[in-house]
Amino acid sequence: MLDLGWTEILIIMVLGLLVIGPKELPKLVRTIGKWRGKMSAYARDFQRSIEDVADVTEVDAIKKEIAEANRELNEAKRDLSEQTASINEDMRGAAKDSTFVGFNSDGSVTEPGAPASANKGNGEAQSDASGDQGENNSAAQSPETKPGESRENSANV
């Protein structure tokens, strides 16, 4: 506003006293004070209304940012759900397609879906095919055969 120091106010009061006179000067100062108060009140009211508009604008901007963040979050959630569903389908498919290998008590390997003669293991399948070779059959039935070791290899030992 106006930047008036005490010297300027004193000069204005002296001029007002000379021009207006001592009788009317207090009324004039009172009237100027009232107008100044009203102008200050109008300025404060205007400033508050501008701040309110700015606050509303900021709130709207914040609402837009929150809406954008929610939209991005929902997209990420949807993408994550799709990826999870895809992974679950892949896992189910892998479980269906996988072949589990089992071990028999004699150390032979059993594969699902294989014929019964193939499930006997290497030594038994060979001893059936070899016929009457006495050494191989007796070696295959020896108690020193270790699990996982074929009977053919234990017969050669």
Q: The tokens 């004193």 sit on which residue?
A: 10
Would you give per-residue pLDDT tens digits along the chain (157 residues)?
567 788 988 898 888 888 888 888 888 889 989 999 999 999 999 999 999 888 888 888 899 999 999 999 999 999 999 999 999 988 887 777 666 666 777 877 776 655 545 444 444 444 444 444 444 444 444 455 555 555 554 444 4
What single-letter DSSP state applies at residue 22? T
Q: What is the three-class DSSP state of 157?
A: coil
Q: Which residues pair with 42 in a beta bridge?
A: none
Q: What is the three-class DSSP state of 149?
A: coil
Q: The tokens 């990826």 sit on which residue?
A: 83
Q: Which residues pair with 102 in a beta bridge?
A: 110
Domain ranges within the chain, ordered by starting residue: 108-156
Q: What is the three-class DSSP state of 110?
A: strand
With beta carbons less than 8 A apart as the criterion, state whether 102 and 110 touch. Answer: yes
